[in-house]
Amino acid sequence: MTPPRYLLAIETSCDETAAAVITHDRHVLSNVVASQTDLHLRYGGVVPEIASRAHVQAILPVVKEALAKANVTLKDLEAVAVATRPGLVGSLLIGLTAAKSLAWGLGIPLVAIDHLQAHIYACQLATQQPLYPCVGFVVSGGHTNLYHCPTPITFNPLGGTIDDAAGEAFDKVAQILNLGYPGGPVIEAAAIHGDSHAVQFPQAFLHEDRLDFSFSGLKTAVLYAAHGTPGARAVPPPLNTQRIADLAASFQRAVIEVLVAKSVAAMHQTGETRLAVGGGVAANKAFRTSLSSAATRHGFEVFFAPLDLCTDNAAMGGLGWEYIDARQFSPLDLDVTPGLVRVSTDHR
């Protein structure tokens, strides 16, 4: 019997400190996530400096807990995988420093992984079916990007947001409506009691062939609908509970319809038959229902990341095994690649 092989994965790209132990057969033995939501709550979004300091405090306890829950020691590890791109520079550096230290001290390979590829790979962890080649769709707080994914470790941009990501728009609209943070869950909860057709909000690029997204104008439209247009004499309806629910529902519908339309267009343009969707917004039930219905109508399969793997986590770092099997390791002088990647295909 072949002895088990263990990979430690580390994720610190934004505001979650996470570590996981995954076997070579992609069984997740542990997946520990230390959330910083309470730290950023008062600001309505992630503050990079606060996130970095929290990672420093949490990284070693989180790694230790992941190893303990998996009943694995450091000497059992075959390699260390870490997300090095994209993300907040300070946050990424904490995870990379920890991973480098472990790799050097234990004399095992270091594997750099792309945070966005990992979000897509989370779908593979949830199914025994071969997922690749596929179209990958990352819908999160920092990204709304479509990719053609011939293999787990190769992906080609098809299109993406030119300004705000869908998740960021959810957060900002939640602030506008005084619903709290993070925006995704509170908008979804409010929308259940609202009329999704109460307000017709703008849907950028909805009827264009380009696979790009823009939610900045939508966010502004919600602001004006809620609090009035600057300089206008007309007074908006009172922002009572029902009005908030209607605005939340109308906003959510506007976003979902665009996400679904571009997903379908990407499937038609690539000719692929499988769509893999990951990221925090992929946890939205209305989005899952709408996209699943569209997939049935248009004849393709859709795979969603499990709910516990939609938001940032280290289990999706199981992608590291794909690099290990391909013998693609990283040097110890590796640096991070921060920033929010824009993948617009519009080159005008």
H/E stretch holding 151 reads: strand 144-151
Alpha carbons within 13 A on the beta-carbon side of 69? 17
CATH number 3.30.1330.60 is the correct assignment for the domain at 6-120+310-325: no
Nearest of 213, 228, 217, 237 to residue 158 by alpha carbon = 213
What fold characterizes domain 130-304?
A: Nucleotidyltransferase; domain 5 (3.30.420)
pLDDT surpassing 60 at residue 342: no
Asked whether the CA dihedral 66, 69, 70, 74 is positive or negative, the reply is positive
Phi-psi region of 75 (alpha: psi -120 to 50; beta: other; left: phi over 0): alpha
pLDDT surpassing 80 at residue 3: yes
Tokens of 68: 């303990």
Buried b or exposed e, range 204-231, using 16+ CB within 10 angstroms: bbeeeeebbbbbeebbebbbebbeeeee
Tokens of 9: 């994965």
pLDDT surpassing 60 at residue 345: no
Would you give the distance in Å from CA 260 to the centre of its chain? 16
What global pTM score does this model have? 0.93
User: Residue 49: its pLDDT value, please?
Assistant: 92
Structural domain spans, the chain: 6-120+310-325, 130-304
pLDDT surpassing 70 at residue 14: yes
pLDDT digits (tens, 9 = 90+) for 40-64: 888 888 898 999 999 999 999 999 9
User: Residue 213: its pLDDT value, please?
Assistant: 97
CA gap 246, 177 in Å, rounded: 11
pLDDT surpassing 90 at residue 348: no
Amino acid at 172: K
pLDDT surpassing 60 at residue 294: yes
What is the arithmetic mean of pLDDT over 188-199?
98
The yes-or-no answer to whether 6-120+310-325 and 130-304 have a common fold is yes
pLDDT digits (tens, 9 = 90+) for 281-290: 999 999 999 9
User: Residue 37: its pLDDT value, please?
Assistant: 85
Q: Could you tell me what percent of the chain has a pLDDT over 70?
A: 97
User: Residue 344: its pLDDT value, please?
Assistant: 35
User: Residue 341: its pLDDT value, please?
Assistant: 45
User: Residue 231: its pLDDT value, please?
Assistant: 83
